[in-house]
Structure formats: structure tokens, C-alpha cells
Amino acid sequence: MQYRRLGSSGLQLSALSFGAWVTFGSQIGRDESRNLVAAAWDNGVNFFDNAEGYAKGRAEQVMGDVIADLRLPRDGFVVSSKVFFGSAEDPAPTQRGLSRKHVTDACHAALKRLRVEYLDLYYCHRPDPETPISETVLAMDTLVRQGKVLYWGTSEWSGAQIAEAVAFARANHLYAPTMEQPQYNLLHRQRVEQEYAPLYADAGLGTTIWSPLASGLLTGKYNDGIATDSRLGQPSLEWLQTAVLGEPAADRLGKVRRFSALAAELGESPAQLAIAWCLRNPNVSSVILGASRVSQLEENLRALDVLERVDAQDWQRIEAIFG
Ligand SMILES: NC(=O)c1ccc[n+]([C@@H]2O[C@H](COP(=O)([O-])OP(=O)(O)OC[C@H]3O[C@@H](n4cnc5c(N)ncnc54)[C@H](OP(=O)(O)O)[C@@H]3O)[C@@H](O)[C@H]2O)c1
């Protein structure tokens, strides 16, 4: 495993980390979840990602249970939560968003579910147009000073919104956001590479990026259809199928088919190649992997080896497919 600093902070995250979205508390059972966390840990993963909204809080419950069961040392792992979507079945106005109230309540609930005394990382899962950014920065600063959160950040905020939060924090001697959690993969790169560019140097922003495989699309598993035991085959995730495959005119599948053929020519697994491509970006602090079974995770964790095998010319050929 390789470890990278989270932006300009002193926290070292494993370059490959592991998240619970869609899988924990819904798609997979408790035993498979335990096996996945154990496999990740045994391979040097030290960061486990979660959110209040994942399976309405059940993903955090399962992760907390499994981490306790595996007796992972608290000073050896990093665990996150995110606030915004709420964990209630039908959230009341005070049970979602980024108000001081919900940011505080959601933190307390995540601590209980994850069975920890502090969250290492706590993200604002989306921007909240109904709450001033200053209120959220102040709420996060309070949680940091109370020792309930170590580093706070954002997820899918615009560059301008992050810059506003940083400026308000600096002007008032408050803790500023340390990291952003954006989507980043071969099919989705503008924000990480262009929009956030000034924030890496100016604000020391780190990034923990999500969906490195575009929900599995970049493995090539959807090249010839959608299997019922795959993520996009789940009836409850019909919206995701549209988002991932795109409109017919988007030709995302066509690009992935060409990418799969190139991977075969290079003798590489498309999944490993796509994850390695994310790792090549020095502004990526950690690539958050998702997996529904241990064999997938074990394959994906070997992506770091690809960096030693693929040369600049072949990376250019890959870029040309998606360009
Ligand atoms: N902040 C946010 O808004 C946000 C949003 C999304 C995700 N995230 C975080 O990022 C993490 C990773 O995102 P993601 O799960 O979308 O990552 P991903 O790597 O794009 O997709 C993971 C899924 O692809 C399939 N897969 C993975 N490796 C495979 C392999 N080698 N062969 C075949 N299929 C494979 C599995 O689904 P199937 O087996 O079911 O097909 C797996 O669950 C999440 O768990 C979450 O922690 C954050």
C-alpha cells in the first residue's frame, strides 16, 4: 500500500480506501461486509468511508459492528461520515441539510452507529442552498473544538462554495475544510482537474475521490448487457443505470468497449487500469473503492502495481479514447 497526505494536513490516508455506499446494509449481508473490511485492512487500507444516508444509517451500523468485531486499533484506522441527506425514512426539515442543528445531530448519531468517540473525517455531503455557508463552517468548527471531529470537508461542492467556506474560516480563525469528496474517473474529470485546481495550492485541499469505476462500468462488465446480480441490475437503482450509462447518444459504453479492448491488448485488467489512472493524479489523496465481494476488492487493490507496468505512451492512448 502507498500512503498519501490528505491535502496539506498531516493525516496519511491509504491511496486506496474502501466505502460502504449501496453495499453495506442493503446489497450485501453482514458476513460479506466483515470479510470485505478484513480484506481491505489486511492489504493496508486504513480509511473506511461512510455517510448517514447510506442505507438510512444501516451502513454505518454494520461498519461499526464489523470494525469492533475485527478489533481494529482506533489509532490505526480512519473512519468518515457525511451529513446532508438524513437517515430518517422520510426526513423532517430539521433532519436533513447543513443547519447547525442537523450537522450536530447527525454527528452524534454517526458516532453511536459507528461506535467511535470521534469521526476522523466528516463531510458535508452536498451544498445546502437553505443554509448560509457561514453557519455550517461555524457548526463544523464547534465539532472540531469539541473533539468529536478531526477534519471536516465537503462533497460535490462547487469550487466557489469551497473557496467561500475557506475564506470565512480564515477571516474568523475557524477550522477550514481540509478535503473534498468528488466523483473522479475516466468519464468524469472536469471538476477535479480544472474547477478545483486553484484550491490545491491556495487552500491545501485534499481529495478522496468516489466511483473510480463509474459504478463498475469501467470494468467492462456492462459491455454486453446488464446482469441481474450487478449494481446496475438492481431494480431499486434504475436511476443510477440512466446516470451511469448515459443517454444513448452519450456513447459511454462505446468508449468503455474500446477501453476494454486496449486493456486486453496491454494484458491488464480494465478495473485495475481505470483505478490506476485515478492514482496518477497527485491531487488525489485517496481513491475510494467499492466492492460487493472480496474477489473484486482483491483485484482492485492490486491497481498500484499497474503504475509500474504502463508507460506514458499507453496512458496517452487511454486518454485519447475518453478525450
Ligand atoms: N460522496 C459521494 O457523493 C459518494 C457517491 C458515491 C460513492 N461514494 C463513496 O465512494 C465509494 C466507492 O464508490 P463506488 O462504489 O461507486 O465505486 P466504483 O468502484 O465506481 O463501483 C464499485 C462497484 O463496481 C462493481 N465492481 C467493483 N470492482 C469490480 C471488479 N473488479 N469487477 C467487477 N465489478 C466490480 C461492484 O458492484 P456490483 O458487483 O454490484 O456490480 C462495486 O460495488 C462508495 O462506497 C462511497 O463510500 C461517495
pLDDT tens digits for range 86-111: 999 999 999 999 999 999 999 999 99
d(CA 299, CA 238): 27
Please give the number of the atom of ligand 1 that sits closest to the Cα of 126. Answer: 3
Query: What would the mean pLDDT of 44-62 be, rounded to a whole number?
Result: 98
Q: Which of 180, 191, 213, 301 to mutate to test the pocket of ligand 1 (most atoms within 8 A of CB)?
A: 213
- What type of residue is 166? V
- For 24, the 3-state DSSP assignment is helix
Instruction: Give me the percent of the chain exceeding a pLDDT of 90.
Output: 97
pLDDT tens column, 236-262? 999 999 899 987 767 999 999 999 999
CB contact at 8 A, 209 and 183:
yes
Q: What is the DSSP letter of 287?
A: E
pLDDT at residue 323, rounded to an integer = 86
Predicted pLDDT of residue 111? 98
- On the 0-12 / 13-18 / 19+ scale of CB atoms within 10 A, 16 is buried
Most ligand 1 atoms within 8 A of CB, residue of 123, 296, 306 to mutate: 296
Q: Hey, what domains does the chain have and what are their CATH numbers?
A: 3-214+277-311 (3.20.20.100)
pLDDT tens column, 253-303: 999 999 999 999 999 999 999 999 999 999 999 999 999 999 999 999 999
Task: For residue 14, give every residue at least 6 positions away whose Cβ sits within 8 Å of its Cβ, in sequence order, or none.
Answer: 1, 2, 3, 44, 45, 46, 47, 286
Give residue-wise pLDDT tens across range 212-232. Answer: 999 999 999 999 999 999 999
Instruction: Please give the positions annotated as active site.
Output: 54
Compute the distance from residue 288 Cα to the ligand 1 centre, in Å: 8
Atom of ligand 1 at shortest range from CA of 211: 20
Q: Kindly report the average pLDDT of the chain as a whole number.
A: 97
pLDDT digits over 135-170, tens only?
999 999 999 999 999 999 999 999 999 999 999 999
Q: What is the pLDDT of residue 257?
A: 97
- Segment 65-82 shows an average pLDDT of 98
